[in-house]
A and B are shown apart, each in its own frame.
Chain A
Amino acid sequence: MAKEEYTIRPARAEDAQAVTAMWAEMGAEHQQYDPQRWAFAADAGEKQREHFLRTLADQQNGLALTATDSAGQVVGYLMAGVTEPAPVFRTKRRGQIWDLFVRPAHRGKGVGRRLMEAAVDGLKARGAEDLLLRVSADNEAAIEFYRKLGLRLVAHEMYTKL
Protein backbone atom coordinates (compact mmCIF):
# COMPACT_ATOMS: atom_id res chain seq x y z
CA MET A 1 0.00 0.00 0.00
CA ALA A 2 1.28 3.41 -0.96
CA LYS A 3 2.23 5.79 1.80
CA GLU A 4 -0.54 8.30 2.52
CA GLU A 5 0.19 11.85 1.45
CA TYR A 6 -1.20 14.54 3.70
CA THR A 7 -1.68 18.20 2.89
CA ILE A 8 -1.80 21.01 5.43
CA ARG A 9 -3.86 23.98 4.29
CA PRO A 10 -5.83 26.90 5.76
CA ALA A 11 -9.28 25.77 6.84
CA ARG A 12 -12.30 26.85 4.80
CA ALA A 13 -15.94 27.37 5.68
CA GLU A 14 -16.87 24.09 3.96
CA ASP A 15 -14.65 22.22 6.47
CA ALA A 16 -17.00 23.25 9.29
CA GLN A 17 -18.85 19.93 9.44
CA ALA A 18 -15.68 17.80 9.48
CA VAL A 19 -14.00 20.07 12.03
CA THR A 20 -17.05 20.06 14.30
CA ALA A 21 -17.20 16.25 14.15
CA MET A 22 -13.51 16.06 15.18
CA TRP A 23 -14.09 18.57 17.94
CA ALA A 24 -16.83 16.28 19.28
CA GLU A 25 -14.41 13.33 19.22
CA MET A 26 -11.87 15.41 21.12
CA GLY A 27 -14.56 16.47 23.59
CA ALA A 28 -15.44 12.83 24.22
CA GLU A 29 -11.75 12.03 24.89
CA HIS A 30 -11.63 14.87 27.40
CA GLN A 31 -14.78 13.71 29.15
CA GLN A 32 -12.99 10.46 29.90
CA TYR A 33 -10.24 12.45 31.61
CA ASP A 34 -12.57 14.58 33.75
CA PRO A 35 -16.34 14.48 33.13
CA GLN A 36 -17.06 17.38 35.48
CA ARG A 37 -14.58 19.82 33.96
CA TRP A 38 -15.56 18.86 30.42
CA ALA A 39 -19.33 19.04 30.83
CA PHE A 40 -20.56 20.43 27.52
CA ALA A 41 -23.72 22.34 26.66
CA ALA A 42 -26.53 20.52 24.85
CA ASP A 43 -25.86 22.60 21.71
CA ALA A 44 -22.06 22.47 22.03
CA GLY A 45 -21.56 21.24 18.44
CA GLU A 46 -23.40 24.23 17.01
CA LYS A 47 -21.51 26.64 19.31
CA GLN A 48 -18.21 25.13 18.23
CA ARG A 49 -19.22 25.49 14.56
CA GLU A 50 -19.89 29.19 15.15
CA HIS A 51 -16.55 29.53 16.95
CA PHE A 52 -14.79 27.90 14.00
CA LEU A 53 -16.45 30.26 11.51
CA ARG A 54 -15.56 33.28 13.67
CA THR A 55 -11.94 32.13 13.80
CA LEU A 56 -11.89 31.91 9.99
CA ALA A 57 -13.31 35.42 9.75
CA ASP A 58 -10.72 36.90 12.15
CA GLN A 59 -7.84 37.20 9.71
CA GLN A 60 -5.77 39.38 12.01
CA ASN A 61 -5.72 37.09 15.06
CA GLY A 62 -7.38 33.80 14.17
CA LEU A 63 -5.75 30.77 12.59
CA ALA A 64 -7.44 27.53 11.51
CA LEU A 65 -5.69 24.77 9.60
CA THR A 66 -6.76 21.39 8.34
CA ALA A 67 -4.86 18.29 7.32
CA THR A 68 -6.35 16.36 4.40
CA ASP A 69 -5.50 12.93 3.01
CA SER A 70 -4.93 12.20 -0.69
CA ALA A 71 -8.67 11.74 -1.19
CA GLY A 72 -9.24 15.25 0.19
CA GLN A 73 -10.85 14.00 3.43
CA VAL A 74 -10.16 16.18 6.46
CA VAL A 75 -8.30 14.01 8.99
CA GLY A 76 -7.02 16.64 11.41
CA TYR A 77 -7.37 20.27 12.36
CA LEU A 78 -5.78 22.97 14.45
CA MET A 79 -7.28 26.16 15.80
CA ALA A 80 -5.12 28.91 17.22
CA GLY A 81 -5.06 32.61 17.76
CA VAL A 82 -3.05 35.58 18.88
CA THR A 83 -4.05 37.27 22.14
CA GLU A 84 -2.71 40.28 24.02
CA PRO A 85 -1.43 39.42 27.51
CA ALA A 86 -1.92 41.85 30.41
CA PRO A 87 0.33 44.94 30.06
CA VAL A 88 2.59 43.77 32.91
CA PHE A 89 4.04 41.16 30.55
CA ARG A 90 6.81 42.01 28.13
CA THR A 91 5.12 39.86 25.47
CA LYS A 92 2.62 42.00 23.61
CA ARG A 93 1.30 39.37 21.19
CA ARG A 94 0.99 35.77 22.31
CA GLY A 95 0.19 32.75 20.17
CA GLN A 96 -2.19 30.24 21.71
CA ILE A 97 -3.25 26.83 20.44
CA TRP A 98 -6.91 26.20 21.21
CA ASP A 99 -7.49 22.81 19.57
CA LEU A 100 -5.33 20.23 17.87
CA PHE A 101 -6.84 16.94 16.79
CA VAL A 102 -5.85 14.16 14.41
CA ARG A 103 -8.22 11.26 13.73
CA PRO A 104 -6.93 8.12 15.52
CA ALA A 105 -6.32 6.17 12.27
CA HIS A 106 -3.98 8.91 11.06
CA ARG A 107 -1.92 9.36 14.22
CA GLY A 108 1.78 8.63 14.44
CA LYS A 109 2.35 9.84 10.86
CA GLY A 110 3.57 13.34 11.51
CA VAL A 111 0.23 15.04 10.80
CA GLY A 112 0.08 16.78 14.19
CA ARG A 113 3.69 17.90 13.94
CA ARG A 114 3.08 19.40 10.48
CA LEU A 115 -0.06 21.16 11.73
CA MET A 116 1.96 22.62 14.63
CA GLU A 117 4.84 23.73 12.39
CA ALA A 118 2.38 25.47 10.08
CA ALA A 119 0.66 27.02 13.10
CA VAL A 120 3.94 28.41 14.43
CA ASP A 121 4.62 29.98 11.02
CA GLY A 122 1.10 31.41 10.90
CA LEU A 123 1.25 32.75 14.45
CA LYS A 124 4.65 34.35 13.85
CA ALA A 125 3.28 35.96 10.68
CA ARG A 126 0.52 37.43 12.90
CA GLY A 127 3.16 38.88 15.22
CA ALA A 128 3.23 36.27 17.99
CA GLU A 129 6.34 36.47 20.19
CA ASP A 130 5.66 33.34 22.18
CA LEU A 131 3.39 30.31 22.34
CA LEU A 132 1.28 29.16 25.28
CA LEU A 133 -1.11 26.24 25.26
CA ARG A 134 -3.07 24.10 27.67
CA VAL A 135 -3.18 20.36 27.51
CA SER A 136 -5.16 17.89 29.62
CA ALA A 137 -2.99 16.82 32.53
CA ASP A 138 -3.87 13.17 31.78
CA ASN A 139 -3.04 13.38 28.09
CA GLU A 140 0.52 12.09 28.36
CA ALA A 141 0.90 11.48 24.63
CA ALA A 142 0.08 15.12 23.90
CA ILE A 143 2.43 16.43 26.60
CA GLU A 144 5.26 14.34 25.14
CA PHE A 145 4.34 15.46 21.62
CA TYR A 146 4.57 19.15 22.58
CA ARG A 147 7.78 18.53 24.52
CA LYS A 148 9.41 17.16 21.37
CA LEU A 149 8.41 20.39 19.61
CA GLY A 150 10.35 22.35 22.22
CA LEU A 151 7.55 23.41 24.57
CA ARG A 152 8.11 23.06 28.29
CA LEU A 153 5.73 22.73 31.23
CA VAL A 154 5.24 25.99 33.08
CA ALA A 155 2.07 25.70 35.16
CA HIS A 156 -0.60 23.44 36.60
CA GLU A 157 -4.08 24.60 35.66
CA MET A 158 -6.21 23.71 38.67
CA TYR A 159 -10.00 23.55 38.93
CA THR A 160 -12.72 23.15 41.51
CA LYS A 161 -16.46 23.12 41.20
CA LEU A 162 -18.12 25.36 43.78
Chain B
Amino acid sequence: MTSQSYTIRPACPEDAEAVTAMWAEMAAQHAGYDVQRWQWAPGADEKWRKHFLEMTGKDDWVALVAVDAEDRAVGFVTAHLRSVAPVFAAERAADIGNLAVTGEHRGRGIGKMLAKAMLEELKARGAEYVTVGVACANDVASRLYENFGFREVMRSMYLRL
Protein backbone atom coordinates (compact mmCIF):
# COMPACT_ATOMS: atom_id res chain seq x y z
CA MET B 1 0.00 0.00 0.00
CA THR B 2 1.36 3.40 -0.91
CA SER B 3 1.25 6.15 1.66
CA GLN B 4 -1.70 8.48 1.29
CA SER B 5 -1.14 12.07 0.35
CA TYR B 6 -3.33 14.74 1.85
CA THR B 7 -4.17 18.24 0.73
CA ILE B 8 -5.49 21.22 2.70
CA ARG B 9 -8.18 23.36 1.08
CA PRO B 10 -10.93 25.75 2.21
CA ALA B 11 -14.07 23.92 3.33
CA CYS B 12 -17.13 24.13 1.08
CA PRO B 13 -20.81 23.31 1.74
CA GLU B 14 -20.32 19.84 0.20
CA ASP B 15 -18.02 18.97 3.15
CA ALA B 16 -20.84 19.47 5.66
CA GLU B 17 -21.64 15.80 6.12
CA ALA B 18 -18.04 14.63 6.59
CA VAL B 19 -17.15 17.58 8.83
CA THR B 20 -20.26 17.06 10.99
CA ALA B 21 -19.37 13.40 11.47
CA MET B 22 -15.90 14.43 12.65
CA TRP B 23 -17.40 17.08 14.91
CA ALA B 24 -19.64 14.42 16.47
CA GLU B 25 -16.60 12.22 17.09
CA MET B 26 -14.88 15.12 18.81
CA ALA B 27 -18.00 16.03 20.78
CA ALA B 28 -18.23 12.48 22.13
CA GLN B 29 -14.54 12.55 23.06
CA HIS B 30 -15.08 15.78 25.02
CA ALA B 31 -18.17 14.47 26.79
CA GLY B 32 -15.83 11.70 27.93
CA TYR B 33 -13.46 14.28 29.42
CA ASP B 34 -16.15 16.14 31.37
CA VAL B 35 -19.77 15.26 30.80
CA GLN B 36 -21.12 18.46 32.37
CA ARG B 37 -18.84 20.98 30.67
CA TRP B 38 -19.44 19.29 27.32
CA GLN B 39 -23.08 18.42 27.68
CA TRP B 40 -24.60 18.63 24.22
CA ALA B 41 -28.08 19.76 23.29
CA PRO B 42 -30.51 17.27 21.74
CA GLY B 43 -29.86 17.29 17.99
CA ALA B 44 -26.44 18.90 18.47
CA ASP B 45 -25.02 17.27 15.30
CA GLU B 46 -27.71 18.78 13.13
CA LYS B 47 -27.29 22.15 14.88
CA TRP B 48 -23.57 22.03 14.20
CA ARG B 49 -24.14 21.13 10.56
CA LYS B 50 -26.44 24.14 10.14
CA HIS B 51 -23.89 26.34 11.90
CA PHE B 52 -21.15 25.11 9.53
CA LEU B 53 -23.30 25.86 6.48
CA GLU B 54 -24.26 29.31 7.80
CA MET B 55 -20.68 30.26 8.61
CA THR B 56 -18.95 28.88 5.51
CA GLY B 57 -17.91 31.79 3.33
CA LYS B 58 -18.36 34.48 6.00
CA ASP B 59 -15.53 37.01 6.37
CA ASP B 60 -14.89 36.40 10.06
CA TRP B 61 -14.84 32.59 9.86
CA VAL B 62 -12.24 30.24 8.43
CA ALA B 63 -12.79 26.54 7.87
CA LEU B 64 -10.16 24.33 6.24
CA VAL B 65 -10.35 20.64 5.48
CA ALA B 66 -7.69 18.03 4.91
CA VAL B 67 -8.71 15.77 2.04
CA ASP B 68 -7.36 12.46 0.84
CA ALA B 69 -6.53 11.60 -2.79
CA GLU B 70 -10.26 11.19 -3.54
CA ASP B 71 -11.06 14.66 -2.10
CA ARG B 72 -12.77 13.13 0.93
CA ALA B 73 -12.47 15.29 4.06
CA VAL B 74 -10.58 13.39 6.78
CA GLY B 75 -9.77 16.35 9.02
CA PHE B 76 -10.88 19.93 9.57
CA VAL B 77 -10.13 23.07 11.51
CA THR B 78 -12.28 26.15 12.14
CA ALA B 79 -11.50 29.59 13.53
CA HIS B 80 -13.27 32.83 14.20
CA LEU B 81 -11.72 36.26 13.64
CA ARG B 82 -12.79 38.97 16.06
CA SER B 83 -11.90 42.37 17.41
CA VAL B 84 -10.15 42.39 20.77
CA ALA B 85 -11.69 44.10 23.83
CA PRO B 86 -10.60 47.75 23.73
CA VAL B 87 -8.54 47.54 26.94
CA PHE B 88 -5.92 45.54 25.03
CA ALA B 89 -3.19 46.86 22.73
CA ALA B 90 -3.96 44.22 20.07
CA GLU B 91 -6.96 44.94 17.83
CA ARG B 92 -7.61 41.73 15.86
CA ALA B 93 -7.40 38.19 17.16
CA ALA B 94 -8.66 34.76 16.21
CA ASP B 95 -9.92 31.81 18.21
CA ILE B 96 -9.51 28.30 16.90
CA GLY B 97 -12.79 26.50 17.54
CA ASN B 98 -12.31 22.91 16.46
CA LEU B 99 -9.51 20.83 15.03
CA ALA B 100 -10.13 17.17 14.38
CA VAL B 101 -8.78 14.31 12.32
CA THR B 102 -10.92 11.26 11.84
CA GLY B 103 -9.81 8.14 13.73
CA GLU B 104 -8.13 6.02 11.06
CA HIS B 105 -6.14 8.95 9.63
CA ARG B 106 -4.56 10.05 12.88
CA GLY B 107 -0.81 9.93 13.49
CA ARG B 108 0.02 10.98 9.92
CA GLY B 109 0.74 14.67 10.48
CA ILE B 110 -2.66 15.86 9.24
CA GLY B 111 -3.37 17.86 12.40
CA LYS B 112 -0.03 19.65 11.96
CA MET B 113 -0.81 20.42 8.32
CA LEU B 114 -4.20 21.84 9.32
CA ALA B 115 -2.79 23.94 12.16
CA LYS B 116 0.02 25.32 10.00
CA ALA B 117 -2.34 26.26 7.17
CA MET B 118 -4.79 27.84 9.59
CA LEU B 119 -2.14 29.97 11.32
CA GLU B 120 -0.92 31.22 7.92
CA GLU B 121 -4.47 32.04 6.88
CA LEU B 122 -5.23 33.87 10.15
CA LYS B 123 -2.04 35.88 9.88
CA ALA B 124 -2.90 36.82 6.29
CA ARG B 125 -6.31 37.98 7.52
CA GLY B 126 -4.79 40.31 10.08
CA ALA B 127 -5.02 38.37 13.36
CA GLU B 128 -2.32 39.55 15.77
CA TYR B 129 -2.70 36.57 18.05
CA VAL B 130 -4.55 33.27 18.20
CA THR B 131 -6.13 31.48 21.14
CA VAL B 132 -7.39 27.95 21.50
CA GLY B 133 -8.99 26.11 24.40
CA VAL B 134 -7.80 22.54 24.89
CA ALA B 135 -9.50 20.13 27.26
CA CYS B 136 -7.20 19.39 30.21
CA ALA B 137 -7.13 15.69 29.40
CA ASN B 138 -6.30 16.20 25.70
CA ASP B 139 -2.49 15.94 25.85
CA VAL B 140 -2.12 15.21 22.14
CA ALA B 141 -3.74 18.53 21.25
CA SER B 142 -1.75 20.51 23.85
CA ARG B 143 1.50 19.15 22.42
CA LEU B 144 0.44 19.93 18.87
CA TYR B 145 -0.24 23.57 19.72
CA GLU B 146 2.93 23.87 21.81
CA ASN B 147 4.91 22.81 18.73
CA PHE B 148 3.43 25.82 16.94
CA GLY B 149 4.54 28.20 19.72
CA PHE B 150 1.34 28.27 21.75
CA ARG B 151 1.67 28.51 25.52
CA GLU B 152 -0.90 28.06 28.25
CA VAL B 153 -1.81 31.51 29.58
CA MET B 154 -5.06 30.74 31.34
CA ARG B 155 -7.06 27.83 32.61
CA SER B 156 -10.78 27.55 32.51
CA MET B 157 -12.70 26.28 35.49
CA TYR B 158 -16.26 25.10 35.60
CA LEU B 159 -19.16 24.45 37.94
CA ARG B 160 -22.72 23.32 37.28
CA LEU B 161 -25.01 25.59 39.30
Contacts and interface: CB of A to CB of B under 8 A. Distances in A.
Interface in A18-44: 27, 33-34, 37, 39-44
Contacts of B58: none
A132 B131 CA distance: 17
Interface residues of A, number: 51
A90 B41 contact: yes
Contacts, number: 167
Interface in B86-125: 86-90, 119, 122-123
Interface string A54-94: 00000000000000000000000000000000111111000
Interface in B110-146: 119, 122-123, 127-136, 142, 145-146
A133 B9 CA distance: 35
A135 B157 contact: yes
A27 to B, nearest CB: 8
B26 to A, nearest CB: 11
A143 B89 CA distance: 26
Interface stretch (B32-40, B60-68, B69-77): B32-40
B129 A158 contact: no
B89 A135 contact: no
B135 A154 contact: yes
A41 B87 contact: yes
B45 to A, nearest CB: 8
Nearest to A96: B156
B133 A129 contact: no
B41 A132 contact: no
Contacts of A155: 37, 133-136, 155-156
Given A124-B161, A130-B159, 15 more contacts: A34-B151, A34-B153, A37-B153, A40-B89, A44-B86, A51-B86, A89-B40, A130-B158, A131-B160, A136-B153, A146-B157, A152-B34, A154-B37, A155-B135, A162-B129
Interface of A: 27, 33-34, 37, 39-44, 47-48, 50-51, 86-91, 95, 120, 123-124, 128-137, 143, 146-147, 149-162
